[in-house]
């Protein structure tokens, strides 16, 4: 019989079925509770994971543009280097791998400890940098032993390299990681680890040199591991830059400067304002700043009291001394105070108010016209004429000749210097101008401060018969024509003939530096760094005495070459070099001769 009526069996079955049902309901309850935990309690956590899950954009950093000199010599480029990494998940024993690596290249025990500590913190598929910038022989050794060292891998990178080390360091600058403010700069955009220019051309041309980042869209899971690449857009290398510096002249000038503790030399092409040489000593080696660790090197730079980081060509401010006299003379001629025949008698000193103003030549020059006054650098002549010209007129001419200005050239941190005037003093010190200060200013002392580039520009303007020469550091293909300041033309002719005599006539201050192979004209300058006491002045030989280096005068020389149709203008400043005639002029001569030889 198919159908049954066994009550006893049915009651057992009913009971069992009921128990089974209870079991099932409770299992559904467990599953429901689990879903509650995931979907309600921990929902926020999973929502975050879900967002991170998905697509990540990885930045491909661009290569920085190359910097060339005027002859296409590479001054800064990117050199392939090799870094050694370790991936924790690829080695059973990270400590063992590191000590094996240590047998090939020494890794400090403390560095190894740091890497091991780090490996515990980061995700184990993340690579950790062990060694940076290893050389070829080390690379070969590691490659040969790669199979024995678990978990390491070598990756190629690029490092900014400056082929000529400290020769153009101030001008080119160096790169480094951006600091907190710099991260906001627009060209960095999405590249927080980008090495950016920190000084010089590297800094000024960051937007050009940086290039464009590329990107890789990658799908990552919630743990950050890359699953696959979705798309790739390669980065674009930054633009190259060619500067006007001629490396050969730069190197030559720097070698001359290195005989002295500190100084600078600027050489300009008058026709187009191109700066051919802008050497400053002491300098630093940017490669040593870029290669980590660099702390020792930094400390040594910062401890050096000559401050190697200072770019003396644009950041060194010096009293121009007698090199300022051309400006005063031009002001005198232009304003009709003097002409070529105007004479003043130099007795070695003049009095104004209750003070005496001395000429550098204690016994005096005797009767002087403007030409002789420049040739022999007579101070009294300029004291006399400045009293009549007045400081404000001198200041205006000085500014027309490029002094007291920051130039529109991509050189960061130029120092403006000071061209004093009545207004200036009122603003600065809230004091009125004293007549004696005009006298001091007329011989380029006192308040007057200029940087060597300004002196070179001033010389260029004189040499070009008053063309408003503007300095230029980036090589341009088209020649530029500077406007001419016609009002100075006749005055400049007088001054130029005087400057010729400075170097080429026997009583000229720079006669000893005259050149037959590259005749040039110029003006010496010796700027005092301290006040000379009356007692010292009275002792006959105070200028000949050996004085402590820091107390010695700065030596200056400005000049141009050739004498007819000048092409080059130079300014040389040797800090505490003694006198312009003995220290600065010979360097200018060497530079002129070297440059002339290059032309052939």
Binding site for another protein (CB under 8 A): 2-6, 8-9, 12-14, 16-17, 19-21, 24-25, 27-28, 30-32, 34-36, 38-40, 42-43, 45-47, 49-50, 53-55, 219, 221-223, 225, 227
Q: Which is nearer to another protein, 34 or 426 (CB)?
A: 34
Q: Which is nearer to another protein, 106 or 225 (CB)?
A: 225
Burial code (b: 16+ CB inside 10 Å, e: under 16) for 292-315 equals: eeeeeeeeebeeeeeebbbbbbbb
Between CA 531 and CA 241 the distance in angstroms is 46
What is the Cα 193 distance to its own chain's centre? 21
User: Token pair for residue 525?
Assistant: 């300058």
Q: Which is nearer to another protein, 16 or 550 (CB)?
A: 16
Between CA 573 and CA 265 the distance in angstroms is 6
Between CA 166 and CA 160 the distance in angstroms is 14
* R_g over Cα of the chain: 37
Q: How far is CA 546 from CA 31, 306, 540, 543, in A?
A: 98, 21, 14, 8
Smallest distance from another protein to CB 126, Å: 13
Strand ranges (DSSP E) for 40-176? 55-60, 67-68, 74-86, 128-134, 152-162, 175-176
Between CA 95 and CA 91 the distance in angstroms is 9
State the residue for tokens 């005055």: 491
Parallel, antiparallel or unpaired: strands 344-346 and 366-368? antiparallel
Smallest distance from another protein to CB 92, Å: 15
Smallest distance from another protein to CB 46, Å: 2
Report the candidate in 519, 553, 317 with the shortest Cα–Cα distance to residue 414: 317
Burial class of residue 35 in the structure, from the number of CB atoms within 10 Å of its CB (0-12 exposed, 13-18 middle, 19+ buried): exposed
Between CA 274 and CA 278 the distance in angstroms is 11
Q: Which is nearer to another protein, 20 or 356 (CB)?
A: 20
- CB atoms near residue 483 (< 10 Å): 9
Smallest distance from another protein to CB 12, Å: 4
- For residue 562, whether the previous peptide bond is cis, meaning omega lies within 30 degrees of 0, is yes
Smallest distance from another protein to CB 51, Å: 8
Q: Which is nearer to another protein, 12 or 532 (CB)?
A: 12
Burial class of residue 206 in the structure, from the number of CB atoms within 10 Å of its CB (0-12 exposed, 13-18 middle, 19+ buried): buried
Q: Which is nearer to another protein, 87 or 397 (CB)?
A: 87
Q: Which is nearer to another protein, 24 or 114 (CB)?
A: 24
Smallest distance from another protein to CB 29, Å: 10
Q: Which is nearer to another protein, 37 or 565 (CB)?
A: 37
Smallest distance from another protein to CB 44, Å: 8
User: Token pair for residue 261?
Assistant: 């503790």
Q: Which is nearer to another protein, 67 or 87 (CB)?
A: 87
The DSSP line for 376-387 is TT-HHHHHHHHH
User: Token pair for residue 543?
Assistant: 């200028």
Q: Which is nearer to another protein, 43 or 304 (CB)?
A: 43
Between CA 131 and CA 145 the distance in angstroms is 16
Smallest distance from another protein to CB 312, Å: 58
Smallest distance from another protein to CB 78, Å: 34
Q: Which is nearer to another protein, 22 or 144 (CB)?
A: 22
Smallest distance from another protein to CB 479, Å: 60
Smallest distance from another protein to CB 231, Å: 14
Between CA 77 and CA 67 the distance in angstroms is 7
Smallest distance from another protein to CB 33, Å: 10
CB-CB contact of 162 with 287 (8 Å) = yes
State the residue for tokens 């400006």: 327
Q: Which is nearer to another protein, 30 or 534 (CB)?
A: 30
């Amino acid at each position: 019989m198919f159908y049954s009526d066994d009550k006893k069996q049915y009651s057992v079955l009913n009971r069992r079925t009921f128990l089974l049902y209870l079991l099932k309901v409770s299992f559904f309850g467990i599953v429901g509770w689990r879903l509650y935990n995931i979907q309600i309690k921990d929902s926020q956590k999973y929502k975050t994971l879900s967002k991170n899950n998905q697509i990540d954009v990885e930045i491909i950093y661009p290569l920085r543009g190359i910097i060339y000199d005027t002859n296409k010599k590479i001054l800064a480029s990117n050199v392939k280097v090799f870094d050694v990494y370790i991936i924790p998940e690829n080695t059973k024993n990270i400590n063992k791998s590191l000590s094996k690596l240590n047998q090939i290249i020494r890794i400090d025990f403390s560095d190894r400890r740091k890497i091991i500590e780090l490996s515990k913190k980061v995700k184990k598929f993340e690579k950790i940098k062990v060694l940076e910038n290893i050389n070829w022989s080390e690379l070969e050794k590691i490659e040969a032993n790669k199979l024995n060292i678990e978990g390491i891998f070598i990756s190629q990178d690029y490092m900014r390299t400056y082929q000529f080390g400290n020769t153009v360091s101030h001008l080119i600058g160096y790169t480094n990681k951006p600091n907190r403010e710099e991260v906001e700069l627009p060209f960095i955009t999405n590249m927080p680890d980008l090495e950016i220019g920190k000084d010089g051309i590297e800094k000024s041309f960051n937007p050009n040199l940086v290039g464009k980042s590329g990107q890789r869209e990658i799908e990552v899971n919630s743990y950050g591991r890359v699953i696959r690449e979705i798309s790739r857009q390669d980065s674009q290398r930054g633009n190259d830059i060619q500067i006007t510096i001629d490396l050969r002249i730069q190197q030559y000038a720097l070698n001359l400067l290195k005989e002295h503790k500190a100084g600078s030399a600027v050489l300009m092409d008058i026709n187009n304002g191109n700066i051919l040489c802008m050497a400053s000593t002491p300098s630093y080696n940017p490669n040593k700043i870029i290669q980590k660790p660099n702390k020792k090197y930094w400390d040594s730079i910062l401890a050096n009291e000559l401050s190697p980081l200072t770019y003396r060509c644009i950041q060194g401010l010096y009293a121009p001394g007698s090199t300022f006299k051309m400006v005063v003379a031009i002001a005198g001629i232009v304003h009709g105070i003097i002409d070529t025949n105007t004479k003043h008698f130099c007795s070695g000193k003049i009095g104004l108010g209750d003070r005496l103003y001395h000429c550098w030549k204690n016994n005096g020059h005797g009767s002087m016209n403007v030409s002789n006054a420049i040739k022999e650098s007579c101070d009294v002549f300029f004291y006399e004429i400045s009293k009549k010209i007045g400081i404000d007129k001198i200041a205006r001419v000085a500014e027309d000749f490029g002094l007291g200005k920051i130039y529109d050239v991509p050189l960061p941190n130029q120092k403006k210097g000071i061209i004093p005037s009545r207004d200036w003093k009122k603003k600065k010190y809230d004091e009125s101008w004293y007549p004696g200060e005009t006298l001091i200013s007329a011989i380029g002392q006192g308040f007057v401060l200029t940087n060597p580039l300004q002196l070179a520009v001033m010389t260029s303007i004189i040499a070009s018969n008053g063309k408003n020469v503007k300095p230029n550091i980036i090589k341009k293909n088209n020649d530029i024509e500077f406007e001419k300041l016609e009002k100075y033309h006749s005055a400049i002719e007088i001054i130029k003939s005087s400057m010729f005599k400075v170097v080429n006539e026997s009583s000229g201050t720079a006669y000893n530096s005259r050149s037959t192979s590259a005749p040039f004209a110029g003006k010496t300058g010796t700027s005092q760094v301290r006040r000379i006491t009356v007692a010292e002045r009275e002792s006959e030989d105070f200028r000949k005495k050996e004085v402590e280096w820091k107390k010695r005068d700065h030596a200056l020389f400005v000049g141009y070459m050739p004498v007819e149709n000048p092409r080059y203008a130079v300014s040389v400043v040797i800090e505490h070099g003694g006198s312009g005639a003995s220290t600065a002029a010979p360097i200018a001569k060497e530079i002129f001769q070297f440059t002339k030889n290059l032309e052939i």
